[in-house]
Amino acid sequence: ADHGLDLAEKDFTVNTVAGAMKSFFSELPEPLVPYTMQVELVEAHSEYAPGGVPTLLRAHLFINSYNTSSDGPLSPPSRRRVSHNHRVNLMTSENLSICFWPTLMRPDFSTMDALTATRTYQTIIELFIQQCPFFF
């Protein structure tokens, strides 16, 4: 809630902040990328080449139709451009997506479909990070 919080001033390590974020996202009643949206995103990803323009446009249209309210689950509060500083922090969009996709999507790993789609889920989150201004 405190938008003026300076994490560097608090002397938190990067791992502490990342762990707190993952904990926060994992405790939400529904994943940040809601289950109802995940099916559509996986379908959009599988119909076109990963990262292709049709995939971007279809996912963008779906997200905007799903998230019509300003306080929806994927609304844009404040964003940190962690991946833009990847030369310093080594956290490229791929690395960030590998770390965060399981927490942001929370698939049911008891099904074979979820297990075989793990790379797809990770790629979707990577695409969101890379194309953040387009999607949000």
Backbone angles phi, psi at 72, to 5 degrees: -70, 175
In a domain, 136, yes or no: no
Number of domain units in the chain: 1
Task: State which residues form the domain around 104.
Answer: 14-70+81-131
d(CA 135, CA 80): 15
76 within domain boundaries: no
Nearest in space to 42 (alpha carbons), one of 132, 133, 118: 118
Residues 114-136 have pLDDT tens digits of: 777 788 889 888 888 887 777 66
Whole-model pTM above 0.95?
Answer: no
* Residue 53: CATH number of its domain: 1.10.555.10
For 4-44, give the secondary structure using H, E and C.
Answer: CCCCCCCCCCHHHHHHHHHHHHHCCCCCCCCHHHHHHHHHH
Answer yes or no: is 54 within a domain: yes
- pLDDT digits over 14-55, tens only? 788 889 889 999 999 989 888 888 877 887 777 655 555 555
